[in-house]
Structure 1
Amino acid sequence: MSHAEARRKERLLEVRRFVEENELPIKNYGLLNIALTHTSYANEHKNEVIHDNERLEFLGDAVLDLVVGEYLFLRFPTWPEGELTRAKASAVCKPACAECAAKFQVGRYMLLGRGEEMSGGRTRVSILGDAFEAVIGAIYLDNNYEVAARFILGHLKKYLDLIDEGNYDHDYKSDLQELVQKHGDVSIRYEVTHDEGPDHDKTIWMHILINGKDFGSGIGKNKKEAAQRAAKEAIKRIQSGERV
């Protein structure tokens, strides 16, 4: 047995261990190995026939979009297209995918080039997020849509629950702007009233003023988060009948 053949056999045993440890619904270890192979590794081994995970990532991204889009469409039958789009974006974003990948130790089993390895590629959001999508692609090809959907919805449960609760990356500032435009020329101003804590762990208090009138406040770890929560509070007050 050549050195390359021995290495391939050892690698497939690693992938099998990865599958068993995480109870992944896939039997094609060769396909999963491709999902865990970064382009930097393939580029460093051009003398061998090695496929990177970019094509599987492309497929997995499409399956992920469809599964989450279908879930939201059925779960929230009265939501307009814009609301569904924003909710879906919060669940399928790269940080969410990377967190899912990290939970079942995808980074530990990735094949990376030396440069990516040295620069912390095993924990990089973009690499982990892409690998999660590639794993989805592999599971879909090795099984069917239903199996892939169960895998996706199970791993994204945290983010789907946040959408259920209304606590996701919703652009309440834009929604508020659209809402108050019905009242003509309206001034909206966000003001930081105070903050607490060190720079690396600060809490911000933000008030929102509409035509100079206090319409609520929001608290967050940064100005963007606090402003979004203040806008959400203002929308609630306007929708409950408070006049602008």
Structure 2
Amino acid sequence: MRERILRSLEKKISYTFKDKTLLDQAFVHRSYSYEQASKPVNNECLEFLGDAVLGLAVGHLLFVKYPDNEEGTLSQLKANMVSENSLSQLARKLNLGKFLMLGKGEELSGGRTKNSILADTYEALLAAIYLDSGLEPVHNLVKKHFLPLLPASISRRSLLDFKSRLQEYTQEEFKAIPEYFLLKESGPEHQKRFAIGVKLKGEILARGMGKNKKAAEQRAAQNALKKLAAVKIDDLAKS
């Protein structure tokens, strides 16, 4: 049954594993391995390797597509492309949540739809492909997934992160710099959530949530920009 389900994924990604255990391991969440003696190995190490493999593949893709752009511009675009939000969206398109093996608690808490778990699983899958056949099939898959998302051209201004964009706007319009502050920290040690507020001249502009303070600050800045109508957030990459 499990083997048949995984074969359907191989068809979806147009890649057939020589070592099926690698494919299976990519979907074993730590919560499952803690509960099941039959699955002592989980996908955390694959996720670690997959992060590096993905970075190399995306970096190569950007280097080839935008050979004349500055390093800073490419780095910012790469960061946007490999963000948790971007990877979780790709994982949803592949329906990776369906293949996950989760512990009972994680299953009940909606683990199959959590952005963090889906993004990690996508990275683990890339690592499994890399260990099975090297970089070429990883490059092929990354190119297939990411190339259609890239604009024909990019500019440094269009790729500024939301915090930089907000500061640029408030300095120009209000002659002031936004301040970020921690509102709340919640969740277990391995799955923290942070709520960050951003204020300007003492007035709270917006709030944001994230799995770390940096991500929460970016979300708060994004929400502040929406409130101030400084930019059309959805059009940032086109400006």
Q: Select which of 173, 183, 186 maps to 1:189.
A: 173
Is 1:131 the counterpart of 2:131? The answer is no
- The answer to whether the 8 A contact 2:225-2:231 is kept is yes
Q: What TM-score results when the alignment is normalised by the length of structure 2?
A: 0.67
CA-CA distance at 1:26 after TM superposition? 2.6
The 1:44–1:168 alpha-carbon spacing in structure 2 relative to 1, beyond 3 Å, is farther
Question: Which one of the candidate residues 32, 43, 46 is aligned to 1:53?
Answer: 43
Paired letter, 1:188: E
Q: Work out whether 1:26 is the aligned partner of 2:17.
A: yes
Aligned to 1:195: none
Structure 1 168/35 Cα, relative in aligned 2: closer, same or farther at 3 Å? Answer: farther
Question: Which residue of 2 is the match for residue 98 of structure 1?
Answer: 88
- How many equivalent residue pairs? 187
2:6 is aligned with 1:15: yes
CA deviations 1:163-196 (Å, max 9, x no partner) are 7466975337737978x9xxxxx95116xxxxxx
Q: CA offset at residue 158 of structure 1?
A: 4.1
Which range moves more in the overlay, 126-135 or 50-59?
A: 50-59
Q: 1:42 to 1:169 in 2, by over 3 A?
A: farther
Question: Quick one: which of 119, 122, 144 aligns to 2:112?
Answer: 122
Larger radius of gyration: 1
Matched residue SS, 2:40: coil
Partner of 1:63: 53
2:230 to 227, 233, 242: 227
Considering only aligned residues, what root-mean-square deviation do their CA atoms show, in Å? 3.3
- TM-score between both structures, scaled by the size of structure 1: 0.65
State which of 30, 36, 40 in structure 2 corresponds to 1:39: 30
Amino acid at match of 1:19: E
Displacement, 1:37?
0.7
CA 1:15–1:79: 2 relative to 1, 3 Å: same
- % same residue: 37
Which residue is equivalent to 1:239?
Answer: none
SS in 1 for 2:173: strand
Match in the other structure for 2:62: 72
Structure 1's 188 and 107: CA in aligned 2 closer, same or farther, altered over 3 A?
A: same
Gaps spanning 5+ residues in structure 1: where?
Answer: 1-9, 181-185, 191-220, 237-244
- Unaligned runs of at least 5 residues, structure 2: 175-221
Match of 1:107 in 2: 97
- CA distance in structure 2 between the partners assigned to 1:28 and 1:114 by the alignment: 28
